[in-house]
C-alpha cells in the first residue's frame, strides 16, 4: 500500500509540474527562441545568397536592426508598461510570427523568380523586394524585443512570486534553453538548406512559425489563467481613470448622495479637462515619442541599478564572442569549419555551466556577490586572450596600419603614389567572411596564439553568463512593476548601442594584423564594465562585499529602498 501511495504521489507531482505555469513558460520560450534562432541564422545566409555572396545586405540589415532597437527600445518598453500583460504578449507574438511568415513567403518568391525580377523596371522591383524583406524582418525583431521584455523580465517575475530562489532557478532555466536553441536550431535549418535548397529553407521556417504561433498563443492563455497575479498590473493610470469616471456616473444615477455625486463629478470633469488640455494639439502628440524616449533614459539613469545595467551593456563592446567577426579571424588563422563547430559546442557547454554556477553561488553567497565573483572570473579568463596577442603565431603587427583596408575601400587608391603593382599574400579582411569561407584555409606557423585566444573566450563564458543572470535578476528585483518595461527597453538599447560600436570598430580596422588591438580594446571595455559593477556592489554592501554571508543574511544584500516593491 505504501509503495502504491508513493507511486501515485510521484505521478501527481510529475503531472503537476508539466501542467504548471512555470513549465508552460519554459515550453513557450523554447518554441519562441527556436524559431528566432532559426530565422536569425537563416536571414543572414539568405541575404548573402541574394546579393551575390556579398555581405552588403547583411550589414545593412544589422545596422537597421541595431538602430531601430536603439531608438525605439524605450518606446517599446513604455508600451509594454501601459498595456495589459496578455494583450502585450499576444500582440507581440502575432506581429513577430506573421512578419517572419511574410518574409519567408517573399524570400521564396525572390529565390524562385530572381532572374525575372531583376529584369523588370531596370531591377528596381528586385531592390524593392530587398527593402521589404529588411523592413519586415526589422519589425519582427522589434516585436521579438517586446516579447522578450514582457515574458523574461515581467511574467517570469510574477510567476516566481516573492521567492527569489525560484526566480533565480527560472532565469537560469530560461538561459539554458537559450544556449541549447542557439546551437541546435541553426544546425537544423542549416542541414535543411544544405540538403534541400534556400527555397525549401524559407518554406520550412515560415511553416514552423505558423504552427509555433498557434501553440504559443494557447500556452500564453493557459499561463495567464493559472497565474491570477498577471491580471493585476501597476501603472495603468488610463484604465483606472476610466473606471473612476464610470463609478462616478453610477453613483449619480443611483442618487445615493447628490451633493457628494456632484462634487465627485466636478472633480472628475476637472481632471478629465486637464488631461484633454495637455493632449491638445498635434505638436504634443507628435513629440510624445520623443518625451517617452527622454523619460525612459532619465528613469534608467535614476535607478539604483544604473551602474549594474551599464556594466552589462559594456560587455557587448567586444570581439571576443562566437560571431561572424571571430569566425572570420579564426579562418585566417588556419581553423577549419569542423574545428570551429566543436569550439562553438564547447562554448555552449561553458555557458550552461555558467548558469548552473550562478544558482549555486547565489545560494551560498547572495546575488550581488555572485556578480562580483563572476566578473572577476571572466576577467581572469580573458587575460589568456590578451596573452594570445603577443604569443607565437599571432598576426598582430602595429607597423601595418589598422585602417589600411578601410582606406583602400573608400579612397579607391587615390592617395596612393604611382608605381609598380605589388602582389601581397596577406590574409583576407575580417569583414569579408564569405570570401574566407570559400577559399582554402591558410596555413600559419604556430597555433599557440589562436589556441590561447579561444581557450580564454570559451572559459570566460562561465563568468559571462553567470554575470548576465546576476544583472538580469537585479533589474527584476529592484525595478518597480510599473517601470519594468521601459527600463528593460532602455537596457536593450544600451546593449545594442555598444554592440553597434563594436561592429563599427571592426569596420574601421578589419585586417587580421589589427585584431590584436581589437582584443585589447575589448578586454578594456569588459574591465570598465566590471569596475562599474564593483562600484554598485560596494555602494550596496560596503566592506561586507568581501565576506560570504549565511542564507539568512542574503535578504540584506539588496538596498533597503529597493526590496520587492
User: How many CB atoms sit inside 10 A of residue 197's CB?
Assistant: 12
Q: What is the mean pLDDT of residues 34-47?
A: 86
Percent share of the chain, pLDDT over 90: 44
Integer Cα distance of 25 and 524 in angstroms: 37
Instruction: Report the candidate in 376, 390, 483, 352 with the shortest Cα–Cα distance to residue 78.
Output: 483
Cell numbers that stand for 433 in this block: 567572411
Which pLDDT score, from 0 to 100, does residue 28 have? 94
Integer Cα distance of 400 and 305 in angstroms: 42
Burial class, 428, CB count within 10 angstroms (exposed 0-12 / middle 13-18 / buried 19+): buried
- Compare 323 and 131 and report the one with higher pLDDT: 131
The answer to whether 371 and 467 have CB atoms below 8 angstroms apart is yes
Integer Cα distance of 527 and 383 in angstroms: 11
Burial class, 462, CB count within 10 angstroms (exposed 0-12 / middle 13-18 / buried 19+): buried
Integer Cα distance of 188 and 394 in angstroms: 34
The answer to whether 519 and 408 have CB atoms below 8 angstroms apart is no
User: How many CB atoms sit inside 10 A of residue 492's CB?
Assistant: 23
Give the CA distances from residue 220 to residues 29, 32, 140, 224, 547, in Å, rounded to whole numbers and listed in that order: 10, 12, 19, 6, 42
SS3 502: helix
Which pLDDT score, from 0 to 100, does residue 269 have? 52
* Rg, Å, the chain Cα set: 27
Integer Cα distance of 212 and 28 in angstroms: 9
User: How many CB atoms sit inside 10 A of residue 333's CB?
Assistant: 24
The answer to whether 339 and 435 have CB atoms below 8 angstroms apart is no
Cell numbers that stand for 150 in this block: 514582457
Instruction: Report the candidate in 352, 342, 36, 27 with the shortest Cα–Cα distance to residue 185.
Output: 36
94-134: per-residue pLDDT in tens? 999 999 999 999 999 988 888 888 787 777 888 888 899 99
Residue with cell 516585436: 143
- Compare 58 and 358 and report the one with higher pLDDT: 358
The answer to whether 482 and 235 have CB atoms below 8 angstroms apart is yes
How would residue 340 be classed by pLDDT, with cut points 50, 70 and 90?
confident
Which pLDDT score, from 0 to 100, does residue 268 have? 52
Residues 6+ apart with CB under 8 A from 118: 126
252-276: per-residue pLDDT in tens? 444 444 444 455 445 555 555 555 5
Which pLDDT score, from 0 to 100, does residue 556 have? 41
The answer to whether 235 and 483 have CB atoms below 8 angstroms apart is yes
The answer to whether 376 and 311 have CB atoms below 8 angstroms apart is no
Which pLDDT score, from 0 to 100, does residue 217 have? 95
How would residue 345 be classed by pLDDT, with cut points 50, 70 and 90?
confident
Which pLDDT score, from 0 to 100, does residue 5 have? 59
pLDDT of 331 above 50: yes
Q: What is the mean pLDDT of residues 450-466?
A: 94
- Compare 426 and 68 and report the one with higher pLDDT: 68
- Compare 430 and 138 and report the one with higher pLDDT: 138
pLDDT of 182 above 50: yes
Tally the residues of the chain: 565
Residues 6+ apart with CB under 8 A from 25: 151, 155, 156, 159, 170, 174, 219, 223
Integer Cα distance of 149 and 89 in angstroms: 9
Residue with cell 573566450: 457
Helices (H) and strands (E) in the chain, counts: 21, 0
205-221: per-residue pLDDT in tens? 999 999 999 999 999 99
Which pLDDT score, from 0 to 100, does residue 395 have? 86
Least confident of 303-307, 359-363, 436-440: 436-440
0.85 surpassed by pTM: no
Integer Cα distance of 493 and 17 in angstroms: 36
- Compare 119 and 88 and report the one with higher pLDDT: 88
Which pLDDT score, from 0 to 100, does residue 360 have? 92
User: Per residue in 178-189, is it b (16+ CB within 10 Å) or e — as a string?
Assistant: bbbbbbebbebb
Q: What is the mean pLDDT of the chain?
A: 80
139-178: per-residue pLDDT in tens? 999 999 999 999 998 999 999 988 888 999 999 999 999 9
Integer Cα distance of 109 and 128 in angstroms: 13
CA 255 to chain centre: 55
Integer Cα distance of 311 and 533 in angstroms: 6
Residue with cell 565573483: 373
Amino acid at each position: 500500500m505504501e509503495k502504491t501511495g508513493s507511486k501515485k504521489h510521484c505521478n501527481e507531482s510529475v503531472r503537476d509540474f508539466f501542467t504548471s505555469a512555470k513549465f508552460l513558460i519554459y515550453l513557450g520560450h523554447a518554441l519562441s527562441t527556436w524559431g528566432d534562432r532559426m530565422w536569425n541564422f537563416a536571414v543572414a545566409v539568405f541575404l548573402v545568397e541574394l546579393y551575390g555572396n556579398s555581405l552588403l545586405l547583411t550589414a545593412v540589415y544589422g545596422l537597421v536592426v541595431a538602430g531601430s532597437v536603439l531608438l525605439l527600445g524605450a518606446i517599446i518598453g513604455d508600451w509594454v508598461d501601459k498595456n495589459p500583460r496578455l494583450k502585450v504578449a499576444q500582440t507581440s507574438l502575432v506581429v513577430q510570427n506573421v512578419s517572419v511568415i511574410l518574409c519567408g513567403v517573399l524570400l521564396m518568391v525572390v529565390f524562385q523568380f530572381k532572374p525575372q525580377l531583376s529584369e523588370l523596371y531596370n531591377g528596381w522591383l528586385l531592390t524593392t523586394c530587398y527593402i521589404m524583406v529588411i523592413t519586415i524582418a526589422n519589425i519582427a525583431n522589434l516585436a521579438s524585443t517586446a516579447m522578450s521584455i514582457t515574458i523574461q523580465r515581467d511574467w517570469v517575475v510574477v510567476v516566481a512570486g516573492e521567492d527569489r530562489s525560484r526566480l533565480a532557478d527560472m532565469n537560469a532555466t530560461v538561459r539554458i534553453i537559450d544556449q541549447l536553441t542557439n546551437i541546435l536550431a541553426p544546425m537544423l535549418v542549416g542541414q535543411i538548406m544544405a540538403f534541400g535548397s534556400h527555397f525549401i529553407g524559407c518554406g520550412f521556417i515560415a511553416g514552423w512559425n505558423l504552427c509555433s504561433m498557434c501553440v504559443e498563443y494557447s500556452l500564453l492563455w493557459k499561463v495567464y489563467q493559472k497565474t491570477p497575479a498577471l491580471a493585476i498590473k501597476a501603472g495603468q493610470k488610463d484604465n483606472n481613470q476610466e473606471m473612476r469616471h464610470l463609478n462616478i456616473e453610477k453613483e449619480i444615477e443611483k442618487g445615493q448622495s447628490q451633493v457628494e455625486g456632484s462634487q465627485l463629478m466636478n472633480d472628475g470633469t476637472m481632471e478629465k479637462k486637464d488631461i484633454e488640455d495637455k493632449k491638445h494639439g498635434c505638436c504634443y502628440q507628435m513629440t510624445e515619442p520623443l518625451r517617452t524616449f527622454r523619460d525612459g533614459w532619465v528613469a534608467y539613469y535614476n535607478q539604483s541599478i544604473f551602474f549594474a545595467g551599464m556594466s552589462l551593456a559594456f560587455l557587448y563592446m567586444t570581439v571576443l564572442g562566437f560571431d561572424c567577426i571571430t569566425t572570420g579571424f579564426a579562418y585566417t588563422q588556419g581553423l577549419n569549419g569542423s574545428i570551429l563547430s566543436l569550439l562553438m559546442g564547447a562554448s555552449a557547454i561553458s555557458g550552461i555551466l555558467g548558469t548552473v554556477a550562478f544558482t549555486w553561488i547565489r545560494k551560498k553567497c547572495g546575488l550581488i556577490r555572485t556578480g562580483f565573483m563572476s566578473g572577476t572570473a571572466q576577467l581572469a579568463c580573458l587575460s589568456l586572450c590578451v596573452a594570445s596577442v603577443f604569443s607565437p603565431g599571432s598576426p598582430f603587427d602595429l607597423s601595418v596600419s589598422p585602417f589600411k583596408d578601410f582606406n583602400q575601400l573608400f579612397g579607391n587608391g587615390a592617395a596612393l603614389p604611382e608605381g609598380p603593382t605589388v602582389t601581397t599574400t596577406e590574409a583576407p579582411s575580417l569583414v569579408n567572411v564569405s570570401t574566407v569561407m570559400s577559399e582554402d584555409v591558410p596555413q600559419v606557423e604556430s597555433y599557440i596564439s589562436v589556441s590561447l585566444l579561444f581557450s580564454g573566450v570559451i572559459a570566460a563564458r562561465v563568468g559571462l553568463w553567470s554575470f548576465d543572470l546576476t544583472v538580469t535578476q537585479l533589474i527584476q528585483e529592484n525595478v518597480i512593476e510599473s517601470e519594468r518595461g521601459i527600463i528593460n527597453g532602455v537596457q536593450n538599447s544600451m546593449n545594442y548601442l555598444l554592440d553597434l560600436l563594436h561592429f563599427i570598430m571592426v569596420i574601421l580596422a578589419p585586417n587580421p594584423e589589427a585584431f590584436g588591438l581589437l582584443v585589447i580594446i575589448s578586454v578594456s571595455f569588459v574591465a570598465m564594465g566590471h569596475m562599474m559593477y564593483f562600484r554598485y556592489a560596494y555602494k550596496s554592501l560596503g566592506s561586507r562585499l568581501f565576506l560570504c554571508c549565511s542564507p539568512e543574511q542574503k535578504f540584506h544584500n539588496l538596498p533597503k529602498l529597493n526590496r520587492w516593491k
